[in-house]
Amino acid sequence: MKPLKNIRFLTALLLLFAFLVSGCNKYTPEQEEYIKRIEALRKQKNLSFLQDPQSPFNQDPKAVFHPLNYYDVNPEFVFKSKLIEYEHKDTVTIFGTKGEERKAVRYGYLPFTYKGKQYKLNVYENDEGNGQKYYAIWFTDRTTNKETYGVGRYLKFSLNSDPNHEYIIDFNLAFNPFCAYSANYTCAIPTKEDYIDLAIEAGEKKFHD
């Protein structure tokens, strides 16, 4: 190959390589930073489960620890939403995984839209037993009992007194309750009204294969 043709050939290869590399970077710098932050939180949780005396792996000798399983962090599963309170806040029975009955108030829901279709997450008001209230989100979806824990997964929720407050729904933070790791624990089982007809491929997967 002549020198000039050789240079042109190498230049074309470099341009093609640069194009392919740029096409592989599908996230913005802000999203890349977000992914790193979530990955750091996951490493921190693994460390906490190893060291915290209250961890299920330190409370139950039969629970053998290994790093938690997750989907790759996906910024598409982060949504903004406003809480819509139910006009009639029904008290419902929620069963625990050991068969016990619990009472919870179906307080409201967080709507979100994914690929043009609207879904909702129910928010439950619970009594801690000392007059204090706490709020919880639990759900099942198309991945439940396949790639994710068979009972369901949870999201943390803190009620804001501002009715116009904008909440962040981040399914990359969806986690398994302690009963996923040890039979010593009982956890709330999501009801059929808490099912989301969507494969939420984000957050924590099954701990046991």
Strand partners, 154: 138, 175
Question: Is 147 a domain residue?
Answer: yes
Asked if residues 161 and 77 have their Cβ atoms less than 8 Å apart, the reply is: no
pTM: 0.86
Give percent above pLDDT 70 in the chain: 88
Q: Which domain holds residue 153?
A: 3-194
Q: In the numeric block, which tokens belong to residue 3?
A: 């020198």
In a domain, residue 129? The reply is: yes
Whether pLDDT at 17 is above 70? no
Q: Is residue 127 part of a domain?
A: yes
Residue 166 counted as domain residue: yes
Q: Which run of H or of E encompasses 126? A: strand 117-127
Q: How far apart are CA 183 and CA 132, in angstroms?
A: 27
Q: Average pLDDT, stretch 143-159?
A: 98
- Hey, is 91 helix, strand or coil? strand
Residue 140 confidence (pLDDT) above 80: yes
Q: Could you tell me if residue 181 is inside a domain?
A: yes
> How many structural domains is the chain composed of?
1
- Name residue 110's beta-bridge partners: 121
- Confidence check: pLDDT of 2 > 80: no
Which region holds residue 154: left if phi is over 0, alpha if psi is between -120 and 50, else beta? Answer: beta
Q: What mean pLDDT do residues 56-85 have? A: 97
- Going by pLDDT thresholds of 50, 70 and 90, the confidence category of residue 7 is low
Q: Where does 76-195 have alpha helices with state H?
A: none
Listed in sequence order, the residues at least 6 apart from 156 whose beta carbon sits closer than 8 Å to its beta carbon are: 137, 173
In this structure, is residue 133 part of a structural domain?
Answer: yes
Per-residue pLDDT tens digits for 79-137: 999 999 999 999 999 999 999 999 999 999 999 999 999 999 999 999 987 878 999 99
Mean pLDDT of the chain: 91
Q: What is the model's pLDDT at position 209? A: 73
